[in-house]
Amino acid sequence: MLLGAVGGPKWDTLPANLRPEKGLLGIRAAMGLYTNLRPARLYQALREACPLKESTAEKGFDLMMVRELTGGIYFGKHETVSVRGIVAENTPIISSINGFKGLYFDLRGHLLFVRYADRPGVLARITAVLGDAEINIENITAPIDHEAGETLAVIKTNKPVTEAQVSAVATLVNALSAFSVSF
């Protein structure tokens, strides 16, 4: 099914539940549509305006970006996340998330995030679940927010952590939140 874009400045002042895109998202959810296909093509007339390397722009490109619409701002819970970091050698490096400082991890590969009430032995349980699934750990950063009594473990792995594995970890350690991402 092909659905077009909706919304715009005319409706920006309306409450979220009355905006046109709310209807489109409802249709997508009801029909189980979960991807958004976005074609991108560089026309020769626009080559000089392209921000990519000249060697890439001179060849042009014709590609399709596939965006999953399974959660987050589309169908999930809305929440604000505060992220701080730097970009070094074209790689984002995160140094804090929502007040958890001292993280220092790059946004590459596969990452598992687990936030839990700080107590001994939790990391051992998390790593045991990953080890049983034959997932190797490349790096762990686990700063503690002493004021809140919480830890945010960011675990870099050699392969993706599945939803079932995230759920198993979350249940085992009584996580406040847990999710995985791959870049």
pLDDT digits (tens, 9 = 90+) for 21-49: 776 666 666 666 666 677 778 888 888 88
d(CA 153, CA 114): 5
Say what the pLDDT of residue 122 is: 94
Name the band, by pLDDT with cuts 50, 70 and 90, for residue 172: very high
Which H or E run includes 21?
A: helix 20-31
Q: What is the CA angle 169-146-97, rounded to 5?
A: 65
Q: How far apart are CA 158 and CA 138, in angstroms?
A: 7
Number of H-type helices and E-type strands within the chain: 4, 10
Given a cut of 90, is residue 136 above it in pLDDT?
Answer: yes
The percent of residues in the chain predicted with pLDDT above 90, rounded, is 31
Q: For residue 86, how many C-alpha atoms fall within 13 Å in the half-sphere facing its CB?
A: 5
pLDDT at 83 over 80: no
Per-residue pLDDT at 70 exceeds 70: no
Highest mean pLDDT: which of 32-46, 76-90, 169-183?
Answer: 169-183
Indicate the domain borders of the chain.
Answer: 9-68, 83-182
Give me 79's structure tokens: 């929440």
Q: Where are the beta strands (DSSP E) in the chain?
A: 35-41, 62-68, 83-88, 91-97, 100-106, 110-117, 137-141, 144-145, 150-157, 177-182
What pTM value is reported for the model? 0.58
Task: Provide, rounded to the nearest whole percent, the portion of the chain with pLDDT above 70.
Answer: 80
pLDDT band at residue 86, thresholds of 50, 70 and 90?
A: confident
* DSSP code at position 44: G
Q: Which fold has domain 83-182?
A: Alpha-Beta Plaits (3.30.70)
How many angstroms separate the CA atoms of 5 and 122, rounded?
A: 45
